[in-house]
Structure 1
Amino acid sequence: MTANTIEINRQRHRFDGRESVWLFGYGSLIFKADFPYLERRPASIEGWVRRFWQGSHDHRGTPDAPGRVVTLIEEAGAVCQGMAYRIAPEVFDHLDVREKNGYLRFMTPMTFADGDQSDGLVYIATPNNAAFLGPADERDIALQIAASHGPSGPNDEYLLRLADALRELADIDPHVFAIERHLRTAD
């Protein structure tokens, strides 16, 4: 699959007659809501873990030196914490461009922090996309992140802002925090 998923996503879900749609964010969408939203609520999804396995050729790296950003990987029994946004369907015009580097929209059930539930959309970079880097040692991921920089800024800024945002959500993510520790000790 191509890394540029804008047109694919625009064909995946139709919003005819919908005034709003829930969106689940688990990476930069937690700390960088550069889009209008109607409501914002902490939420979680089941059966997924956050991993720094997706290459970033367009935001936190370059085609020759990609950074690493998070995607979701299926894992039975896992719970991924994040932030849900209720948005107008036209906001996807912006989000599809922002998440174009290999991410596809999928429908997912979400559970809000207060126990309420709803279906929503989530962007996931699956292993068959051209920008997928896959697993690596967390120390090696930290070193790649430390060395990467792209149009949206340094890759380590993404990691550190995500770690801080997860702490604010009281989410203990061993993968993210291990990479953060390696990054801080590499300084």
Structure 2
Amino acid sequence: MMNQQGNAAAAPDYPSLLGEVHPLTDEELAHSLQTSLKQWDRTSDLWLFAYGSLIWKPDLPAAESCSARVYGYHRGLYLWSCLTRGTPQIPGLVLALDHGGSCAGLAFRIATDGAMPHLEKLWQREMAMGSYRPVWLACQLNDGRRVRALTFVMHRDKPTYAGRLPDHIVRTAFKHAQGHCGTTLDYVARTVEALRASGIPDRALEALLERCQCKKTDD
């Protein structure tokens, strides 16, 4: 049930406010992009590792794509979303990489020529709130090749860091959270479907979706 202020009253400890969360300015976005690209020689094609919505909505051309795995990080619903999949009053959840384990996803090879406009658009999408840290990780492709791939990991010292949440909080987000890109539930369901279709199912994420999605009989 929702109260008159639109808060998720079904979970008393569901966060109604995340503190001061401000979008990065255009100058900050440009600085972040240029700093991150210092490790790219700009003569070789660039690899991008996708583990969430970039799998099913990359919005950039890829000269090649294949399943891949990175080590030292795992996927989880660790990022509060107060814009794309929620609001500041009813924050949603999206996926992020956090320390430990490994993660299977898709690797996209982006051709050097013409890459910058697409990377700028990618930064506007992924780095708008500054919640991620762009990093280059060792990435093993499904054919055995090893590449350095750019990806986005959780910035733990940001107020949007959710950490590992109990099921009742995730369930509340699934039931109530919606932002300008849609609901948290749809985001997770589409990611689960895309991972399965790519032959790299995430059993833990599938189990979380099964446990926490709201049934039609819910209030």
Q: TM-score, normalised by structure 2?
A: 0.76
Q: Equivalent residue for 1:108?
A: 137
Question: What is the CA distance between 1:73 and its match in structure 2?
Answer: 1.3
Q: Equivalent residue for 1:56?
A: 81
Question: What is the CA distance between 1:125 and its match in structure 2?
Answer: 2.0
Question: What is the CA distance between 1:144 and its match in structure 2?
Answer: 1.0
Which of 195, 205, 210 aligns to 1:181? It is 210
Q: Equivalent residue for 1:93?
A: 120
Question: What is the CA distance between 1:26 and its match in structure 2?
Answer: 0.5
Distance 1:35 1:134 in 2: 29
Question: What is the CA distance between 1:36 and its match in structure 2?
Answer: 1.9
Which of 162, 166, 169 aligns to 1:133? It is 162
C-alpha contact 2:171 2:214 (8 A) present in aligned 1: no
Q: Equivalent residue for 1:79?
A: 102
Q: Equivalent residue for 1:12?
A: 36
Q: Select between 133-142 and 144-153 the one with higher mean Cα deviation.
A: 133-142
Distance 1:94 1:160 in 2: 25
Q: Equivalent residue for 2:94?
A: 69
Higher strand share: 1
C-alpha contact 1:103 1:126 (8 A) present in aligned 2: yes
Distance 1:8 1:52 in 2: 27
The count of aligned residue pairs is 185
Which of 167, 175, 182 aligns to 2:196? It is 167
C-alpha contact 1:23 1:120 (8 A) present in aligned 2: yes
Cα distance change, pair 3–138 in 1 and its aligned pair in 2 (3 A): farther
Per-residue deviation, residues 67-87 of structure 1 (Å, max 9, x unmatched): 100111111xx2210011112
SS in 2 for 1:13: helix
Aligned-residue RMSD, C-alpha:
2.1
Distance 1:63 1:184 in 2: 22
Distance 1:118 1:182 in 2: 36
Give ranges in structure 2 of 5+ residues lacking alignment.
1-19
Which of 172, 180, 187 aligns to 1:143? It is 172
C-alpha contact 1:52 1:70 (8 A) present in aligned 2: yes
Distance 2:71 2:88 in 1: 33
Distance 1:80 1:182 in 2: 21
SS in 2 for 1:73: strand
Per-residue deviation, residues 36-84 of structure 1 (Å, max 9, x unmatched): 2222111110121111010112211112221100111111xx2210011
SS in 2 for 1:136: coil
C-alpha contact 1:105 1:122 (8 A) present in aligned 2: yes
Q: Select between 8-17 and 131-140 the one with higher mean Cα deviation.
A: 8-17
Q: Percent identity?
A: 25
Question: What is the CA distance between 1:92 and its match in structure 2?
Answer: 1.3
Q: Equivalent residue for 2:72?
A: 47
Distance 1:141 1:58 in 2: 17
Rg larger in structure? 2
